[in-house]
Amino acid sequence: MPEEPESDEEGLGKKPIDPCSQLERQLGERMDRVQLSRRAAQRKAELLSDETPLPGVNAFIDRANEIGLLLGVASNAPRNRVESNLERLALREHFNAIRCAEDVEEKMPDPEIYVSVCDALDVPPDQSIAVQSSPGGIQSAKGAGLYCISLPDRMTGSVSMDRADLVLVSLNAVTLDEVVERASRRNPRSF
């Protein structure tokens, strides 16, 4: 049986890998996919329970609130997961719009979700800044017309983020005011 091509699972031209199928091929037997899914979700919840916002995120949020910027979330994850993670991190109250998998027809890398967030905030995409941690998210934000910062997380740290307008290893590397200035140079009439 030919090996499936590897994928970035972001819809960037390669067929996504089904981890259960891959495991079944390696083990030579069928797996209980429901049980595997439950165990994976439980382990992910355990890992996330210890997570805190990435360095610099709280400072960006605080500064955005100080200068009157609206904040939104665009995520391919289900709303209940996004909302519970924001609540757990004590960040939910800072976001004016949240758009998730069930709010759009097409997931990232399609730009629909970013267009939806901008519409909800009543802000044109060319006056908006996205912070993304995946190539598909960057493609989505850029496709919608946003200025995009790449901020790799633990899962995407080694993935190429060079399509972003600004590539950072931490939000501590730059202030929000500096990002707004950079974004305004791209489109001076927008900001």
pLDDT at 188: 64
Q: Is the peptide bond before 135 cis (omega within 30 degrees of 0)?
A: no
Q: Are 74 and 42 in contact (CB under 8 A)?
A: no
pLDDT at 151: 87
- State whether CATH 3.40.50.1000 applies to domain 57-186: yes
Determine if the pTM surpasses 0.85: no
Task: Give the Cα separation of 123 and 42 in Å (integer).
Answer: 37
Q: How confident is the model over 153-180, as a mean pLDDT?
A: 83
Task: Give the Cα separation of 63 and 155 in Å (integer).
Answer: 27
At 80-92, the pLDDT tens digits run: 999 999 999 999 9
Q: Which of 17-26, 157-166, 175-184 has the lowest mean pLDDT?
A: 157-166
Of residues 105 and 152, the one with the higher pLDDT is 105
Question: Domain segments of the chain: what residues?
Answer: 19-49, 57-186
At 126-164, the pLDDT tens digits run: 999 999 988 999 999 999 999 999 987 766 655 667 799
